[in-house]
Amino acid sequence: MVTDKKRSLFEKLELGKDYYEIRLESIGGLGANLCGKMLGELGLKFLDLNSTSFSSYGSEKTGTPVKGFIRYCKSEKEIRVHYPVVEPDLLVIFHQALLKDETVWKGCNKDTTVIVAVEDGQDEEMSKKLSAIIREHNLEAVYTIKAQKIAMETHSRINVVMLGAALKIMGLEDVSEGEKICEDTLGKKYPEALKNNIEGIRRGFTELEVLSCTEEDGNNIEKSGNTQDPKNHKENRKNGNPQWGYDNAPIGGINPRFGSTVIADLSPSRQGYIPLFIKDRCINCGLCHTACPDMVFQFAKGEYKGKEMMVNQGLDYYHCKGCLRCVDVCPVNALVRGVEAEHPVKEFFLPNQELIRTPDYYEESGPDGYITSESYLTEKRMEGGEV
């Protein structure tokens, strides 16, 4: 695969751009924070550039959105700006669930190169989805990488695969700098993990694919002025989700919208698996109801084996984060683990039964997802832990 030299980091800086800017769009737990740090450090230490990096901040929760920001400039320049990357040269999306989130696309335009981590085996569907996004945002360079698959095969993690892919787009000739930064970060303490991660980087670098749009899709690329303007994006968001401000918000930060988190669609928090309900097996013991952190199980008065009791009617998949605690506690295997991609239509999908009106669900993976602390998490990552 050949990438566009004009879009490379060095070329852009040579042509007089102050900064080459990268934005990482990820979900807590995929290691975007560490990826951003490695990318930044690599620029400073091995590419003779100056660089900074940081993540969106706050209280890190698994499954919530995290953004990472990296800026490069020529070595002699000081980087003095401290705000997030607004118009990225390179946008790296760690999880395809994020494609639906409009804030992910904020500030993207024809100069933005995009890398999307995609799942294996749904090429056609994905290229359709992406083609629509390409049209909407006037994008000209979109690449895909089967990050999860590569990570699993190499026993590495998605973040290093995405790092390798980013290095390719940045215009590096090979992954030698990637290897060096990996050694720096992981140290010599974990030789096996190091080997695996370097292989992850290498495959990310080499297995990046140009997105092939269908002809029809390609022809439909329209110049849409609106979507490039972040302001308009905000406006759209506002229309869908009217905002409180100083003029109309209840004083004191008081919130009378009781129960309003219910409109969040938490499906992007899932990591590929969902609980499947086999109703015939269910004995309505209620254990799943005691184990679910997300109030997914919908019980209602009914009849079971001729006895009046509370009966499990179904699952509210809007709020299921796929933790599979219910599968673990179910004594009769009425709840089993399923691969979500194999169940595009979910049986016994029942939204929260206490709602008195149908809300507009918003694609969200939770409240603000951020990084406040990293030493413990970094250590876990180094040891190949879950996070």
Partner 1 sequence: MNNQVMEYASGNEMAAIAIKQIGYDLMGYYPITPSTQIAENLDVMRANGETDMVMVAAEGEHSAAGICYGAAVAGGRVVNATSANGLLYAIEQFPVQSGTRFPMVMNVVCRTVSGPLSIKGDHSDIMYLLNSGWPILFATTVQQVYDFNIIALKLAEKVRLPVVVAYDGFFTSHQKSRCYRFDRDEEVRAYIGPKVEEYPFLDLEHPITVGSYMNEPDLINNRYQLHLAMEQVDEVLPEIFEEYEKISGRKYSKVEGFGCEEAEDILVLLGSSYDTALEAIDELRASGEKVGVATVNVLRPFPAKELVELIGNAKNIVVADRQDSYGAGGGNLSLEVRATLQRYSKNVNVKSLVYGLGGKDFFKEDVGKMLQLARNKGAFDFEYYGVTKGSLKKQDEPLFDPVTREKTKIGATKVDEEGKVVGANLNQVTAMPGRIAPGHGACPGCGIPVNLNLLLKGIEDPVVFLFQTGCAMIVTTAYPRTSFKVPYVHNLFQNGAATLSGIAEVCYRKQQKGEIPPGDIVFVMVSGDGGMDIGMGSALGTALRGHRLLIFEYDNGGYMNTGYQLSYSTPLGARSSTSHVGKNQYGKIFFHKDMPKLMAATGIPYVATVAESNPVDFIKKAAKAAHYAKTTGTAYVKAISACPLNWNDKPATERKVIEAAVNSCYFPLYEIEQGETILSYDPEKMGKKIPVVDWLSMMGRTKHLVKEEYREVVERMQQEIDIRFYELKRKSEKGV
Minimum CB–partner distance for residue 111 and partner 1 (Å): 19
Task: Answer yes or no: are the C-beta atoms of 146 and 269 closer than 8 Å.
Answer: no
Minimum CB–partner distance for residue 243 and partner 1 (Å): 5
Minimum CB–partner distance for residue 235 and partner 1 (Å): 9
Using the minimum distance from each CB to partner 1, give the nearer residue, 146 or 270.
270
Minimum CB–partner distance for residue 223 and partner 1 (Å): 25
Using the minimum distance from each CB to partner 1, give the nearer residue, 126 or 262.
262
Task: Answer yes or no: are the C-beta atoms of 45 and 27 closer than 8 Å.
Answer: no
Pairing, β 209-210 against β 297-304: unpaired
Least Cα distance to 185 among 60, 70, 79, 31 occurs for 31
- The whole-angstrom distance between residue 362's C-alpha and the CA centroid of its chain comes to 15
Using the minimum distance from each CB to partner 1, give the nearer residue, 152 or 309.
309
Minimum CB–partner distance for residue 386 and partner 1 (Å): 6
Cα 157 to Cα 162, 265, 282, 383: the distances in Å are 9, 26, 37, 12
Using the minimum distance from each CB to partner 1, give the nearer residue, 219 or 244.
244
Q: Kindly report the backbone phi and psi dihedral angles of residue 266, in degrees, each rounded to the nearest multiple of 5, phi listed first.
A: -95, 10
Using the minimum distance from each CB to partner 1, give the nearer residue, 88 or 322.
322
DSSP letter, residue 239: H
DSSP string, 103-134: GGGTT--TT-EEEEE--TT-HHHHHHHHHHHH
Minimum CB–partner distance for residue 323 and partner 1 (Å): 4
Which residues, at least 6 apart from 146, have a Cβ–Cβ distance to it below 8 Å? 117, 118, 119, 120, 207
Least Cα distance to 84 among 138, 17, 36 occurs for 36
Least Cα distance to 106 among 133, 131, 86 occurs for 86
Using the minimum distance from each CB to partner 1, give the nearer residue, 134 or 276.
276
Using the minimum distance from each CB to partner 1, give the nearer residue, 3 or 103.
103
Minimum CB–partner distance for residue 33 and partner 1 (Å): 10
